[in-house]
Chains A and B, each alone.
Chain A
Amino acid sequence: GAVVSQHPSRVICKSGTSVKIECRSLDFQATTMFWYRQFPKQSLMLMATSNEGSKATYEQGVEKDKFLINHASLTLSTLTVTSAHPEDSSFYICSARKGSMGQPQHFGDGTRLSIL
């Protein structure tokens, strides 16, 4: 159990395009979902935390208007990278947690975003 599906797995698009990434918890209801960014050979950097039905909480330094997060249901969160530029190219990973704060996060397989 605890499967998280992330789609698409890879995106290549032109500068200025907006890109939407979906994160779904397939077999559980996720009270909280998280979005991370991972640079090559580095650990994960938390971008934002979202709870179903409420606004996302962004980490310091993350532009809210650039990275739009929607958590419309207990099984779906989306990250939209608006007007993407080459510096937004990265590996984006979502995770979902069910229940209380001591529960583990379950991660999607990530999305490789390449902006030309």
Chain B
Amino acid sequence: AQSVTQLDSHVSVSEGTPVLLRCNYSSSYSPSLFWYVQHPNKGLQLLLKYTSAATLVKGINGFEAEFKKSETSFHLTKPSAHMSDAAEYFCVVSGQTPGTYKYIFGTGTRLKVLA
């Protein structure tokens, strides 16, 4: 069975400081992992994806995430937060075989950026 845990429901950072959003996963199969961002009353936008290539994945808007198999983690980072980064972030795990391809969502982390 697959599962994903986002360790923080809320994170607050000051503008210009680093962002760290934590995600741990569980999967019996070789997983695909994704980070999405959702602004209020909007759909989800793909930030980045890991699909068994490079373990350090670079995404849009300066975000990146590192796949660490030994720690079963896929934390999202950004060196310097922008006010526009304030949103809800979802970590997602998906398998790559029939029966495991559905998205399993984390519960989300709400990022607040303080001026």
Q: How many residues belonging to B are interface residues under a CB distance threshold of 8 Å?
A: 25
Q: Mark B31-61, 1 if CB is under 8 A from A, else 0.
A: 0101010000111111001010000000000
Query: A residues within 8 A CB of B41?
Result: 91, 110, 112
Query: B residues within 8 A CB of A49?
Result: 102
Instruction: Contact check, A102 vs B32: say whether CB atoms are below 8 A apart.
Output: yes
Closest residue of chain A to B9 (Cβ to Cβ) is: A41
Residue B97 lies at the interface, judged by CB distance under 8 Å to chain A? yes
Closest residue of chain A to B32 (Cβ to Cβ) is: A102
Instruction: Contact check, A46 vs B103: say whether CB atoms are below 8 A apart.
Output: yes
Residue B94 lies at the interface, judged by CB distance under 8 Å to chain A? yes
Instruction: Contact check, B34 vs A104: say whether CB atoms are below 8 A apart.
Output: yes
Instruction: Contact check, B102 vs A46: say whether CB atoms are below 8 A apart.
Output: yes
Q: Is the interface of B mostly helix, strand, loop or mixed?
A: loop
Closest residue of chain B to A100 (Cβ to Cβ) is: B96
Instruction: Contact check, A101 vs B103: say whether CB atoms are below 8 A apart.
Output: no
Residue A54 lies at the interface, judged by CB distance under 8 Å to chain B? no
Q: How many residues belonging to A are interface residues under a CB distance threshold of 8 Å?
A: 23
Q: A102-B32, A107-B36 are in contact. Are A43 and B102 (CB under 8 A)?
A: no
* B13 vs chain A, min Cβ distance (A): 20
Instruction: Contact check, B43 vs A107: say whether CB atoms are below 8 A apart.
Output: yes
Instruction: Contact check, B42 vs A43: say whether CB atoms are below 8 A apart.
Output: no
Query: B residues within 8 A CB of A84?
Result: none
* A38 vs chain B, min Cβ distance (A): 9
Alpha-carbon distance A106/B103, docked complex (angstroms): 12
Residue in contact with A43 in the complex, picked from B32, B49, B105, CB distance below 8 Å: B105
Instruction: Contact check, A105 vs B90: say whether CB atoms are below 8 A apart.
Output: no
Residue A21 lies at the interface, judged by CB distance under 8 Å to chain B? no
12 extra A-B contacts, CB within 8 A, seeds A49-B102, A110-B42, A112-B41: A42-B107, A43-B106, A46-B102, A93-B44, A95-B43, A95-B44, A101-B94, A101-B95, A102-B96, A104-B49, A105-B103, A107-B45
Complex A-B, nearest 3 residue pairs according to Cβ-Cβ distance, in ascending order: A101-B101, A107-B43, A107-B44
28 contacts between A and B (CB under 8 A): A4-B43, A6-B43, A42-B107, A43-B90, A43-B106, A43-B107, A43-B108, A44-B90, A44-B103, A44-B105, A46-B102, A46-B103, A91-B41, A95-B43, A95-B44, A101-B94, A101-B97, A101-B101, A102-B94, A104-B32, A104-B34, A104-B49, A105-B103, A106-B46, A107-B43, A107-B45, A108-B43, A110-B43
